[in-house]
Amino acid sequence: MTEDFSIWIEKYRPKTFSEFKGHPEIKARIEAFIKNKNMPHLIFAGPAGVGKTTLALIIAKELYGEYFRNNFLELNASDDRGIDIVRNEIKDFARIKPFGNIPFKIIFLDEADALTREAQQALRRTMENYAVSTRFILSCNYSSKIIDPIQSRCTVFRFKPLDKKEIRQIVETISKKESLKIDDSAVQAIIDVSSGDLRRVENILQSSAAISNKITEESIYEIISAAKPKEIIQILTLAIKKDFIKARELLLETMLKHGLSGLDVIKQIQEQIWDLEIDDKKKVEMIEKCGEVEFRIVEGSDEYLQLESLLASFTK
């Protein structure tokens, strides 16, 4: 696995609907559009790394075949967020007659929620004027940032993170093709830290494989610079048992060992609180305190002082 990551990720990007993992309801509806050789404007909304861009590419390849490149324009709205991207690139492409038997072309606008409101208003008019010859697929993390007039012109598909079973299948497929030895605890670690983001899964795998073809839980956490769940659990357990000094020392040691920021630690603490064997009411109180401390850190307070305060509140 010595290839550049951008080349490697394209190698394992699904090329057909059969290879595409997850989102069965969305796949079924999209396949119906392809079968009828017609589709409305679409909005793909959901977190990063769950297949929005991949599905847009599959749609284009299934519809156009050899004319795929002539009929599909992919733009990233975060590169140019202003009105010029709509007036120039999008309008110029929309004016050109489609190649082949499909009566429309596709413009895929990635990170569309990064467009300014003025650009979105201009896009709204373009979608109306070229509705016969062009279909738009807008990809975004938050559909609420897309103005209502555009949302009303589109069919919205909401993507969710891939589940554990699907991620496990993908990890096993890649490890087999790349001759990697990966134990079950390492697979579980990848599932836990990826949060359903397949790009992150592949990035972790390649980074680990660049060091050794034998991937362990230890190497996973070293690569991602995160504390192991059991380390965070140990810190929380000491605090709950009113051993504040030891909890504080272990927290500092863990932060220095893994190079963690205060926000990194807060996020991991919040995740591990639910695994503690304490009353649910106390878990809720601890989560509330995490939110308060996280806000203070974001506003500029001293990270370690705030984390000490958090442990102190747990001890009390």
Predicted local confidence at residue 2, as pLDDT: 46
Q: Are 174 and 202 in contact (CB under 8 A)?
A: yes
Token couple for 28: 């079924």
Task: Please answer whether residues 8 and 202 qualify as being in contact, where contact means their C-beta atoms are separated by less than 8 angstroms.
Answer: yes
- Percent of the chain at pLDDT > 90 equals 33
Residue whose pair of structure tokens reads 């390649």 in the numeric block = 206
DSSP H stretches of helix in 17-163: 24-36, 52-64, 68-71, 84-85, 91-95, 117-129, 148-151
**Average pLDDT over every residue of 231-251:** 91
Burial of 28 (0-12, 13-18, 19+ CB in 10 A): exposed
Choose between 164 and 84: higher pLDDT: 164
Report phi then psi at 136, rounded to 5: -110, 140
- For residues 188 and 312, give the distance between their C-alpha atoms in angstroms, rounded to a whole number: 32
Q: Could you give the 3-state DSSP secondary structure of residue 225?
A: coil
Q: How does pLDDT run across 176-200, given as a tens digit for each residue?
A: 888 888 888 888 888 888 888 888 8
3-state SS class at 316: coil
Q: Which two tokens stand for residue 267?
A: 């996020």
How many Å from the N-terminal Cα to the C-terminal Cα in the chain? 50
Cβ neighbours for 221, distance < 8 A, ≥ 6 positions apart: 189, 193, 227, 228, 258
pLDDT at 1: 45
Give the contacts of 104 (CB within 8 A, at least 6 positions apart).
Answer: 98, 132, 133, 134, 135
* Interatomic CA distance for residues 171 and 262, integer angstroms: 30
Q: Average pLDDT of 276-286?
A: 89
pLDDT in tens, 47-61: 988 889 999 999 999
pLDDT digits (tens, 9 = 90+) for 68-119: 888 998 887 666 655 666 667 778 888 888 887 888 999 998 888 888 888 8
Region for 115 from its dihedrals, namely left if φ exceeds 0, alpha if ψ lies in -120 to 50, beta otherwise: beta
Global pTM?
A: 0.79
Q: Which of these ranges, 38-47, 84-93, 147-156, has the smallest mean pLDDT?
A: 84-93
- DSSP-H helix ranges across 89-216: 91-95, 117-129, 148-151, 164-177, 184-194, 198-209
Reply yes or no on whether the pLDDT at 44 is more than 90.
yes
Distant-in-sequence, close-in-space partners of 89: CB < 8 Å, separation ≥ 6: 73, 75
- Identify which of 293, 232, 290 has the alpha carbon closest to the alpha carbon of residue 257: 232
Bigger pLDDT: 86 vs 40 = 40
The values of phi and psi at residue 134, to 5°, are -140, 135
Taking the C-alpha atoms of residue 303 and residue 262, their distance in angstroms, rounded to an integer, is 5
- pLDDT tier, 164 (very low <50, low <70, confident <90, very high otherwise): confident
pLDDT tens digits, one per residue of 6-15 = 555 677 788 8
Distance CA 206, CA 192 (A): 17
Q: Under 8 Å CB-to-CB from 24, ≥6 apart: which residues?
A: none
Percent of the chain with pLDDT over 70: 94
| Domains of the chain, start order | 23-158 (3.40.50.300), 164-224 (1.10.8.60), 229-315 (1.20.272.10)
The mean pLDDT value of the chain amounts to 86
Reference 49, options 185, 204, 187, 181; nearest CA is 204
In the predicted model, what is the mean pLDDT of residues 32-36? Answer: 91
